[in-house]
Amino acid sequence: MTKNSEKSKIIVGISGGVDSSVAAMLLKEKGYDIEALFMKNWNDQTEDGECLWEDDVEDAMQVCDKLNIPLNTVDLSRDYWEKVFKNFLTEYKSGRTPNPDVLCNKEIKFKAFLEYAESLGAEKIATGHYACKNVEGDSIQLLKSIDDNKDQSYFLCCLSQNQLDKTLFPIGDLCKDKVRKLAKNAGLITHDKKDSTGICFIGEQPFRNFLSRFIKPERGLIKTIDGKSIGEHEGIFFYTLGQRQGLGIGGIKNAADAPWYVVRKNINENELIVAQDHDHPLLHNKNLTVLDINWISEKMPSLPFNCKAKCRYRQSDQKCIIEKNENNQFIVKFESSQRAVTPGQFIVFYDKNICLGGGIINSVY
């Protein structure tokens, strides 16, 4: 028996994908006392009557059989509905564009899941997220993964010190191709499984079809920036700033033969405002306000504070300064103009490879 196997139990969140499979495998190889836990967050079916999670749990079972580790399951769909999905619907109804993955990590994967794992005797949990940790003094830092293309620190920006302390990220110091290679060499069924994309509870069905089941669409006018009506939209919450596809407009008299972009959403009038310039001034802002900032260190820096930030997952880090205005709101001022900053999304702050935390974009100006 190795030294690690004498430690208290670690429960790995197993999703049926390659990343969590390799996370479990690596911990098992190091001699830890490992169990796996599959969580079901959504009770729904596709139009063909298939459950969205059935294939994943089958893959998880085969991985755990291969690794010879116990597999537990837990139904967290009620928690997900109350703490994530209701917020998702409320934000869309208000015309904003939420990011449920960040809230899911905060409330489900690293809270409800963690609490259930502890009830099974776990000292810590482990996940297949591409992120790293570092202890600096009395604080635990959340670090970017070494794989810039897969780094998921953006989605972990709302974690607390306690949540980080009780979590391991076994693949954070690996690149994706290495993870797949390890899985293939170990004979894991998930080694070539396609990565999941988009919002987990929607699956492969069209986004508009899904959202229409919960929010009644109200058609409205599509207008140019000078107030000319050029079409109708199918429901203002279907669209996001900077969107080009799916507008259903073209061949407008006296207009250039160029694509149209959503540049503003007039919620009160149920109007979608569009323009034919990818870099239209209405799509660019240097300043925004932020709500509910979570500082991972649990210590707010002295303001004004210089750092870098990103307003969407795939964006490169941008220089900015964080201040407070006369209304005691957090404001972020970027050094350069940012395109299509979207209220409801998260802005996440960085100091080099350290994720400092993040908050919800409330408004741009």
Q: Hey, which residues are catalytic here?
A: 104, 200
Instruction: State the Cα torsion 166-171-174-177 to the nearest 10°.
Output: -160
Distance, CA of 319 to CA of 326 (rounded, Å): 23
Q: Which stretches within 125-274 are classed as H helix?
A: 161-165, 176-185, 207-212
Distance, CA of 23 to CA of 129 (rounded, Å): 9
Count of helices and strands (H, E) across the chain: 9, 17
Return the exposure string of 6-35: e unless at least 16 CB atoms fall within 10 Å of the residue's CB, then b. eeebbbbbbbbbbbbbbbbbbbbeeebbbb
Asked if 320 and 311 touch (Cβ cutoff 8 Å), the reply is no
CA 146-148-149 angle, to 5 degrees, is 130
Return the exposure string of 198-208: e unless at least 16 CB atoms fall within 10 Å of the residue's CB, then b. eebbbbeeeee
Tokens for 221?
């006018």
Asked if 333 and 286 touch (Cβ cutoff 8 Å), the reply is yes
Tokens for 317?
């880090």
DSSP state, residue 302: P
Backbone angles phi, psi at 128, to 5 degrees: -95, 25
What is the separation of C-alpha 284 from the centre of its chain, rounded to a whole number of angstroms? 23
